[in-house]
Structure 1
Amino acid sequence: MKFSKFLEWRKCSLLLCGIIFHLLKLNPFRKKDIWLFGAWIGKKYADNAKFLFEYVNQNHKEIRCVWITRNQKVCVQVKSLGYECYTSTSIKGILMMLRGGVSFFTNGLDDFCAIPLVAGSKVVALWHGIAGFKKIYNENYSGKKLKIKKGIDKFFNWVGRNFSIGTSEYTAERVEEQFGVKRESVLITGQPRNDIFKQHIDKNEVLKNVLDDDYSKVILYMPTYRVNPKTKKDEVKIILENLNSNQNFKDFLQQHKILFLAKLHPLTDFRIKPQINNIKILGDKSVSSVEQLLMSSDVLITDYSSCCVDFALLRKPVVFYVPDETEYLSYSSVNTAYKRVTQEKVKNVDDLVFLLKNVNMNSTNLLNELFEDKSIAGTCYSENVYQKVCERIAL
């Protein structure tokens, strides 16, 4: 399903899905020890849901973990790993959605199915990036529009949940405002997908498809998706074209034997041919693990994306490159964290090169101070989620 059609379905199906949702709340056959997991509108086996799913499977055998997907290939993949998985249109998949006592999503209730069959279970929003810089959902409404939206959300909301996870008090505040939930429903646990940062990986294996030379350093560029609504132009494409053609930038990469690796957002759709071997551009489908890609990089360049929150946990430098900031802020909104964290942002290629030559940990430290609660520092985030959820459902 294309993103535009997906959004249309969410809008036009509200009445039908709302009625089904409330009827299914009467379902008496749910079991607390059956946990359902889904991600990315049912298309991927990835993100926070994947890491929590595998952790609970391996460490808490008393829980029956079931992955629900709309994608047959994903179903085959998960089953090949030895886990239980069903497609959302199969009889077993439907039955499990009607029996599950807890449901974990990353994007919304439609991670499981186009119809909210998980209604009545305790829904936990793991999300796909914790309270970054961009204002989302309720943060973009005010006055009567906000009241109307909250009224509709009470009837039915595709991102409705019983519990949400957070990484700090600041993120808990953001989740409260974004989704209109109460503070006590936000669990400070950390993100399960970040548990992998404590493991060892083979950097050469992760980057085997792009390491065609002996590079001294890998700089990863992960921009957020954005198309200027006024010009209809993809701003990320423009930025990459400027970097690809800038001689100062290319000289810097070649002289210092640096690999500049750009990983595009899942919604981004364009191609650019790199002018030098030091520049590589990866589409979303060519990256099997974003977490491992972050771990294999020495420096992160980003803009308004929440990936910097994850990367900062690795205690490596983060650089904010926002040449389109003025235009971006004219059609999109950011929260207070953006100003607090991006104190050393740069807006042109020459300043970017200078900062890359003199990278520091200032932005990284600011990110961790705001987004990483001291109470969970160094802990297993997946175990935190498991314990908190068990407490809340009295299991």
Structure 2
Amino acid sequence: MTALRKDSLLRLHDCLKAVIYLLNLPLFWLTRLTPRRRRRWVFGAWQGRRYADNPRHFAEYVSRADPSVECIWVATSSSAVAEAEIAGLRAVRAYSLAGYWLTATAELAIIANGVDDVNRYVCPPRVVNLWHGAALIKQIGCNSRLLETRDRTPGLLSRIFPFHRGWPAMGYIAGSDMEAEHLRSAFSVERSRIFVTGYPRADILVRQQGRLSSGAPLNILYAPTFRDLDPLLPLTMIRENLRVITEGLKQLNAVLHVRLHPNTLSAAERIHDRIRVNAPPADGPDVNMILCDMDVLITDYSSVFVDFLLTGRPIVFAPFDLSAYRQQERELAAGYGDASLTPGPICDDWEAVIEALALFSQGEDRWEAARRSSLEDLCSRRDGKSCARVLEMVNSLSDRVAEVW
């Protein structure tokens, strides 16, 4: 694609977006006056593309635990709608007539990213953000200078179109006091808005604690974080080290499952008999479902390791592009590299990763105590009752709203 054609397509996209924004702006202000249906809650995640993450697990719990709540999953993809319906939830396309009406009349929106997880144009003003990762490794929001520089959205645009970037949630959740403080500064909100409940998606992992039964092959998950500048870099690095990786996996009698970040668009493929790139996350299982079946986790800067700590199984950190990532993508927490925050071997290349995996496979686990210590600090609520605590929190916020109305 030539630069001229690419520029023309971007201009056309911007024009279409402006038209859609202008058409929806009156609806946005009109729905601020729309009566809200008490106990109607809309749920969504990942810009409506996926039936996943904390809102998914929480919606399924609420639908069983509290029949007074009308749970509605709102999605932009047909696969997400179908998955929610199979799980027993009512589900609608976000920008269908039903999606507009049900979202516009809902009491609350429960999301994982932003207001575009549901129907951004008529999203209820009362939002509960269950977030999509432990905010401990990467700096996010106001804490990231790189993100602030990269996001050049004019302030005037957000003031004219409030749904462009959304608004602060009335409640957030965290897995520990440490994470709650990170979220407070990242979102620039009062600490009283952040509730240390634990994450709904983690409840299934609490029930998976301990080693998997011994057997072949060894299942290893490689779950790298997202990279704005080169989303497919992890696959590139695998191909560049294919011989080292495949020979190591053969010696270990292991299979490497590659799970890319949900924002990465990539086709499913089998690079080698022992290396399997999972289907695009929008069409694949929730990552915590995969974690349950994995013997070892390899990651770089992703907070997925915090969830995996709940299983008690080994973790390998593989920050192959550490310097470039820090300079170009995202700042990291000051403790990155310390055993308290990264409780596992830190490997500079795939050869070191294979060596670390070999030690774990032989039963040599020098990091077990460090993982237990990190678990105490990073997952203070790990009794399998996070969904129940989140429901109590949301009900409390809902009652406050009812009193205002």
Range class of TM-score, shorter chain: 0.7 to 0.9
- Match of residue 49 from structure 1: 55
Kindly state the Cα deviation for residue 20 of structure 1 after the two structures are TM-superposed.
5.8
- 1:192 maps onto 2:211 in alignment: no
In structure 1, distance between residues paired with 2:268 and 2:393 = 44
- 1:260 maps onto 2:256 in alignment: yes
- Match of residue 221 from structure 1: 222
In structure 2, distance between residues paired with 1:124 and 1:18 = 23
- Match of residue 275 from structure 2: 279
- Match of residue 334 from structure 2: 336
More deviation, 336-345/7-16: 7-16
What 5-or-longer segments of structure 1 have no aligned partner? Answer: 205-213
- Match of residue 106 from structure 2: 100
TM-score, scaled to structure 1: 0.81
Opposite residue 133 of structure 1, the aligned amino acid is: I
In structure 2, the CA distance between the partners of 1:164 and 1:180, relative to structure 1 (3 Å rule), is same
- 1:170 maps onto 2:178 in alignment: yes
Match of 1:331, SS?
helix
In structure 2, the CA distance between the partners of 1:153 and 1:128, relative to structure 1 (3 Å rule), is farther
1:70-112 Cα offsets, whole Å, 9 max, x none, are 2334334433443222222333322221221111011210111
- 1:86 maps onto 2:92 in alignment: yes
- Match of residue 131 from structure 2: 127
Opposite residue 255 of structure 2, the aligned amino acid is: L
Kindly state the Cα deviation for residue 9 of structure 1 after the two structures are TM-superposed.
9.6
Aligned pairs (5 A) from 1:344-355: 344-355=345-356
Identity of aligned residues (%): 24
- Match of residue 403 from structure 2: none
In structure 2, distance between residues paired with 1:126 and 1:184 = 15
Q: Work out which of the residue numbers 365, 369, 376 in structure 2 matches 1:369.
A: 376
Q: Work out which of the residue numbers 134, 141, 146 in structure 2 matches 1:137.
A: 141
- Match of residue 327 from structure 1: 324
- Match of residue 207 from structure 1: none
In structure 2, the CA distance between the partners of 1:321 and 1:118, relative to structure 1 (3 Å rule), is same
In structure 2, the CA distance between the partners of 1:22 and 1:329, relative to structure 1 (3 Å rule), is same
In structure 2, the CA distance between the partners of 1:367 and 1:154, relative to structure 1 (3 Å rule), is farther
Whether the 8 Å contact between 1:225 and 1:268 is mirrored in structure 2 is: no
Opposite residue 384 of structure 1, the aligned amino acid is: R
In structure 1, distance between residues paired with 2:23 and 2:186 = 24
- Match of residue 33 from structure 1: 39
Whether the 8 Å contact between 2:300 and 2:319 is mirrored in structure 1 is: yes
Opposite residue 141 of structure 2, the aligned amino acid is: Y
Match of 2:127, SS?
strand
Match of 2:336, SS?
helix
Kindly state the Cα deviation for residue 180 of structure 1 after the two structures are TM-superposed.
1.3
Kindly state the Cα deviation for residue 162 of structure 1 after the two structures are TM-superposed.
1.2
What 5-or-longer segments of structure 2 have no aligned partner? Answer: 1-9, 401-405
More deviation, 13-22/343-352: 13-22
Match of 1:336, SS?
coil
In structure 2, distance between residues paired with 1:68 and 1:382 = 20
Match of 2:311, SS?
coil
CA-based RMSD of the aligned residues comes to 3.5
1:350-387 Cα offsets, whole Å, 9 max, x none, are 322222223432553354233212xx231411111000
TM-score, scaled to structure 2: 0.79
In structure 2, the CA distance between the partners of 1:145 and 1:45, relative to structure 1 (3 Å rule), is closer
Opposite residue 281 of structure 1, the aligned amino acid is: V
More deviation, 331-340/378-387: 331-340
In structure 2, distance between residues paired with 1:79 and 1:135 = 35
Question: Aligned pair count?
Answer: 368
In structure 2, the CA distance between the partners of 1:163 and 1:217, relative to structure 1 (3 Å rule), is same
In structure 2, distance between residues paired with 1:14 and 1:59 = 38
In structure 2, distance between residues paired with 1:53 and 1:10 = 33
Opposite residue 39 of structure 2, the aligned amino acid is: D
In structure 2, distance between residues paired with 1:389 and 1:236 = 38
Whether the 8 Å contact between 1:21 and 1:119 is mirrored in structure 2 is: no
- Match of residue 238 from structure 2: 240
Whether the 8 Å contact between 1:132 and 1:305 is mirrored in structure 2 is: no
More deviation, 258-267/337-346: 337-346
In structure 2, the CA distance between the partners of 1:364 and 1:22, relative to structure 1 (3 Å rule), is farther
1:217-276 Cα offsets, whole Å, 9 max, x none, are 21111111225x4xx684312321234221xx433322231222221223143787534x
Kindly state the Cα deviation for residue 19 of structure 1 after the two structures are TM-superposed.
7.5
Whether the 8 Å contact between 1:222 and 1:265 is mirrored in structure 2 is: yes
In structure 1, distance between residues paired with 2:246 and 2:297 = 17
Match of 1:314, SS?
coil
In structure 2, the CA distance between the partners of 1:255 and 1:41, relative to structure 1 (3 Å rule), is same
In structure 2, distance between residues paired with 1:307 and 1:9 = 38
In structure 2, the CA distance between the partners of 1:165 and 1:16, relative to structure 1 (3 Å rule), is farther
In structure 1, distance between residues paired with 2:182 and 2:309 = 19
More deviation, 32-41/301-310: 32-41
